[in-house]
Amino acid sequence: MLLKNIKDFTFNRRYMEDIKKQIEEIKLTLETWEHAYYVLDKPIVDDLVYDNKLKELKTLEEKYPEYITSDSPTQRVGGQVSEKFEKYNHKYPMLSLDNAFNQDDLYDFDKSIKKQLEKDNFSYFVEPKIDGLSISLIYEKGKFSKAVTRGNGLQGEDVTFNVKTIRSVPLRINDTSDYFEVRGEVFLSKKEFERINEERKLSNEDLFANPRNAAAGTIRQLNPTIVASRRLDVFLYYYLNRDKYTKHSESLSYISSLGFKVNDLGKHCKSIEDVIEHINYIENQRYNLQYEIDGAVVKVDEFKFYDKIGYTSKFPKWATAYKYPAEIKVTKLLNIFASVGRTGKITYNAILSPVSLAGTTVQAATLHNAEYIFNKKIKVGSNVKVKKAGDIIPEVLEVIEDELYNTLETYKKIEYCPACDSKLEIFNDEVDQYCINFNCERKIIKSLEHFVSRGAMNIDGMSIKIIEKLYANKIIKNVIDIYNFKKHKSKILELDNMGEKSFNNLLEAIEKSKTNDADKLLFGLGIRYVGSKTAKLLLERFKDVKNLLNATKEEIESIYEVGPKVAQSIIDWSSIQENVDLINELQIVGVNINFSKNQSNDNVNISKKSFVITGTLSKPRPYFVDLIESFGGKVISAISKKTDYLLAGEEAGSKLEKAKSLQVNIISEEDFFKMLEG
C-alpha cells in the first residue's frame, strides 16, 4: 500500500510538472508571436492561430489555477475598475526637457555642452519626439511590476492595470535584476485615433481633438477593459540602469533585445551638423508616419558625461527637445456660413481656397461660434493663416491685416436660424447660439436622420435624401410618423424613384426596428449628452425608457460614469409633455421600450468568422472593423486559405485577386449588411 502511494505521488508530481512546463511553453510561444505582431510589425501567424493558442492557455489555467501568474498573456485585462489612481513616488525624478525651436538654439545647446566638458570627444543621439504621454515601466526580477505616469516629475499615478493592456509592453523580460526601470511614451496611432473618433461620432460623443489627448484620456480611464479597447501603443527610449552600458545608443539596443518597442528612426550623430541633418530628415518623414510626432529629441550619447553636464530643477542639460513648427499656410477665406444641428446648436464654418496642409487638401475649417470669429477679427474675403490643430482639425489661426483686409466689412453674427429664421438664443453662460424652434425644419430633418441611423434605430434605406423628400411632401414630420409610413403608401408611390419594391423594403426595415433593444431607441431620441454607451448604462439600471424618464436626478447620477450634465439633460427632456407623449405613442405602435440586454451578438452568423477588408467602402475602414468585432468576428490583415470573407469595396486590388485564387468568399458592402440582418 505504501509503495502504491509513493508511485501515485511520483506520478502526480511528474504530471503536474508536465502541465506547468506545457503552460510555460505556450506562454513563451504567445510572447514570441505578440512581439512579432505588436513590436516588430511582422506577424508570423494568423490571428486565428494566435486566438486558438491563447484559448488553449486559458483552458489550462482555468483547470490548474495554481499556475496562473501575473505575466501570463491571459492577464493583460485582469484589473478591476478603480475608484482612483494611487500616487507613486518616483525612485528617480521624471524630468521634462528644455526646448529648441531653431538651428541657433541647437548650436547654443552644442556650445553649452562643449563648455561644460571642455572637450569635443562626445556624440549625440537623435530620435523622434512622440506626441503622447510619458510613462515609466518597472520590472522586478524580470516581471512587470508597475507603470507610473510622470505627474509632477517627483510623484506620478499608478496606472499599472491600464498599461498592462498595451500589447507591446512585455509582461516579463530576460533581465532578472531586482529593479529594472525603462521610460517611454504611450501613444495612439493615427489609424486607431480615426477608429475611436468614428466610434464616438456614431455614439454622438464628443470627438478627441488629437491622438495625444485621446492617449492621455485613455491612460487615465478607471476601467482597464475600456483602455484595452482603445489599443494604445508605446515606444521606450530611456533605460535607467545605466551602469550596464556606457552609451544611450547601446542601452536602446539592449532594451530592444529584451522585447521593448524602440523607435527605428533613432540615429547616432557625431556632430551638431549631423544632428540638424537628421532632425530635418525626421521632419520630412513626419506625415508619412503612422503616429504623431511634434519634434525630435537630442541627447548626448555617452552616459559618463551626464553628471558633469548637469541638471536644472526641471530638466537635464544634456538633452533638448527640438519642436517642429506646425505647418502653417496662407489661403483666402472665401465665405462664412452657419449651420444648425439636431440639438439646435449653430456652428459657423469657413470655406477656404484649397490649400495643401499636413499631407491633405484643406478646403474648409470650423469657426465654432460667433465669439471665435470676433476674437480672431475674421472677415470674409481676407487672407488667413491656417494650420491643423494637433495635425488633425483645420483651424484658422489669424487674419493677415493687409491693404485688402482694411477694405472688408466686419463680420456680423447671425441673429436668426439659417434654416427656419427663428430668433436664436444663448443659454446661461454659454457662447453658443441655439435655435429653440421645435418646428425648425432642419433640426427636425437632422433629428430624423439621427433616429434612423445605424447606431440608433437602424432603419436601413432611409437616407437623408429620402427623409428630406418625405418631409417636403408632409409625409413624415416627426418620429412617430415613421411608424405610420404604411398609411401613406399611395402618396409615397407617386414620389420620384419610389417604387413598390423600395416602399416594401423601407416598410420592412421600419417594422424590424420596432424590435430593437431600448438603448437604440433612447440613443435615437437625441437627448443631449446621451450617446449610445450612456444609453446602455442608463437602461441597464432602469430597464425601460419610462422608468428612466420617471427617475430623479439623484437616481440617474448614482450610475457609474453618468454625471450631473447627463442627469439634468434627461430631467429637462422628460419634463416636456410632448416628449412623454412621444414615448407613449411609440409604445402604442409597437416600438420596444424595454431593455433585455442579456442579448449577445454571438448568434449573428459572422461570429467567430475572420474578415479581410480591402478597397474603398462607403464609410472609413474603422467603422467596419468595429462592426465586425461587435458581432464577434475578427478582422485580419492578410488573406490566407483560412480567411472566411474578403469584404471588398471599389478598387480592391491584389487582395481581391488573391482571394479569388484561394477561393475565399468575396462579399460586397451590401452582402455584408445582409449578413448582419440575417
List, for residues 132-149, the tens digit of each pLDDT value: 889 999 999 999 999 999
Whether 422 and 435 have beta carbons less than 8 Å apart is answered as yes
51 marked as part of a ligand binding site: yes
Residue 61's pLDDT is 72
Cβ partners under 8 Å of residue 479, min gap 6? 447, 448, 451, 524, 525, 582, 586
58, 84, 129, 329: the active-site residue:
129
CATH assignment of 441-588? 1.10.150.20
435 marked as part of a ligand binding site: yes
For the chain, domain boundaries:
19-75, 98-323, 329-425, 441-588, 601-677
Residues facing residue 316 across a β-bridge: 311
230 marked as part of a ligand binding site: no
269 marked as part of a ligand binding site: no
C-beta neighbour count of 617 within 10 angstroms: 17
The C-alpha cell at 38 is 505588436
Alpha helix positions (H), 479-613: 479-482, 489-493, 500-513, 518-524, 532-542, 545-549, 553-557, 564-574, 577-588
150 marked as part of a ligand binding site: yes
Rounded Cα–Cα distance for residues 401 and 619 (Å): 40
423 marked as part of a ligand binding site: no
Residue 135's pLDDT is 94
185 marked as part of a ligand binding site: yes
Closest CA to 518 of 602, 600, 597, 448: 597
- Rounded to 10 degrees, the C-alpha dihedral 624/629/634/637 comes to 40
Rounded Cα–Cα distance for residues 420 and 514 (Å): 31
Rounded Cα–Cα distance for residues 545 and 484 (Å): 21
- Work out whether strand 360-368 and strand 346-357 pair parallel, antiparallel, or are unpaired: antiparallel
The model's pTM: 0.53
Residue 139's pLDDT is 95
SS3 650: strand
CATH architecture of 329-425: Beta Barrel (2.40)
Check whether domain 601-677 has CATH 2.60.120.510, yes or no: no
Cβ partners under 8 Å of residue 13, min gap 6? none
For the question of residue 129 being annotated catalytic, the response is yes
CATH assignment of 98-323? 3.30.470.30
Query: What is 19-75's CATH number, 3.65.10.10, 1.10.287.610, 1.10.1740.10, 1.20.1440.130?
Result: 1.10.287.610
- Rounded to 10 degrees, the C-alpha dihedral 451/456/461/464 comes to 40
172 marked as part of a ligand binding site: no
Phi/psi of residue 227, nearest 5 degrees: -60, -45
Residue 625's pLDDT is 77
Whether 169 and 144 have beta carbons less than 8 Å apart is answered as yes
**Which stretches of the chain score pLDDT less than 50?**
2-3, 78-82, 390-391, 598-603
Residue 563's pLDDT is 81
Angle at 237 between CA 232 and CA 241, to 5 degrees: 120
Rounded Cα–Cα distance for residues 213 and 196 (Å): 12
Cβ partners under 8 Å of residue 321, min gap 6? 97, 98, 99, 100, 129, 295, 296, 297, 298
The C-alpha cell at 331 is 489661403
Rounded Cα–Cα distance for residues 515 and 504 (Å): 18
Whether 221 and 188 have beta carbons less than 8 Å apart is answered as no
417 marked as part of a ligand binding site: yes
97 marked as part of a ligand binding site: yes
Residue 603's pLDDT is 42
